[in-house]
Amino acid sequence: MRMGLEATCKVEGHEFKPWETMSYTNGRAMQESSAPRKPRILLAASGSVAAIKFGNLCSCFADWADVKAVATHAALHFIDRTTLPKDVILYTDEHEWSTWSKIGDTVLHIELRQWADIMVIAPLSANTLGKIAGGLCDNLLTCIIRAWDYEKPIFVAPAMNTHMWTNPFTERHLMTVDELGVTLIPPVSKRLACGDYGTGAMAEPSLIHSTVRLFMESRQNANGGKSQ
């Protein structure tokens, strides 16, 4: 199935042109309007229990930015899709493969990494952190990261059990992703969903949102008011 510009894609009853709001298609930039546009934010969730807050996080950003969302298979166990803003499309591994069947078809993880100005992974699971640090790319989220242009900002907000957080692998993996240019929004200490007390809970969506927004505003000011 070729997914050209005229094609529509029906996902869970919602029909849309996959690239209708994207500025790139088939790897080529389309004509950009000179009018200022909203920042494009790619929000991603992996399989931490904190993904139950993903809808809230998407809502914070959707108030002022164009938002697209990505979730891993495990994250879908925690995300209540009814909490997502109506205009935010949630992409999954299923879309990655349903939109491609032959050479010349668009590749979703490449389209999304080109579309986005910035990416935020919240929550970041121990597993996805390890995969990013190791360069693995076996799902939509990790393929986007593996293909990411590290000139563009990327933030991660880990969330995991405190024993996972204090495991020596975590520090090693965080050092590796720091070298890539990834910015850490650290987890906080509290009673975790599993009942343990300690560090590992995802920062609140409001804090993640304000951290990213402040970063974008200060960069925009440094660029003399231009959003790009």
Ligand X SMILES: Cc1cc2nc3c(=O)[nH]c(=O)nc-3n(C[C@H](O)[C@H](O)[C@H](O)COP(=O)(O)O)c2cc1C
Catalytic residue set: 109, 194
49 binds ligand X (CB under 6 A): yes
Site string for ligand X, 172-211 (x = CB under 6 A): ----------------------------------------
Q: Is residue 82 packed enough to be buried (19+ CB in 10 Å), middle (13-18) or exposed (0-12)?
A: exposed
Which of 18, 19, 43, 46 touches ligand X (CB under 6 A)? 46
CB 167 within 8 A of CB 141: no
74 binds ligand X (CB under 6 A): yes
Which of 18, 39, 41, 48 touches ligand X (CB under 6 A)? 48
Residue whose CB is nearest to ligand X in the complex, by number: 47
Closer to ligand X by CB, 46 or 114: give it.
46
Residue 223 Cβ vs ligand X, minimum distance, rounded to whole Å: 34
Closer to ligand X by CB, 92 or 128: give it.
128
CB 106 within 8 A of CB 77: no
CB 71 within 8 A of CB 90: yes
Rounded distance between C-alpha atoms, residue 71 and residue 122, angstroms:
10
Contacting ligand X within 147-166 (CB under 6 A): 159-160, 164
Which of 58, 118, 126, 185 touches ligand X (CB under 6 A)? 126
Rounded distance between C-alpha atoms, residue 58 and residue 42, angstroms:
10
Which helix H or strand E contains 10, and what residues bound it? strand 9-11
CB 153 within 8 A of CB 75: no
92 binds ligand X (CB under 6 A): no
Amino acid at 75: A
Closer to ligand X by CB, 104 or 168: give it.
168
Closer to ligand X by CB, 53 or 68: give it.
53
Rounded distance between C-alpha atoms, residue 220 and residue 216, angstroms:
6
CB 121 within 8 A of CB 203: no
Sign, CA torsion 173/73/208/20 = positive
Site size with ligand X, rule: CB under 6 A: 15
Which residues sit at the interface with ligand X, rule CB under 6 A?
46-50, 72, 74-75, 125-128, 159-160, 164
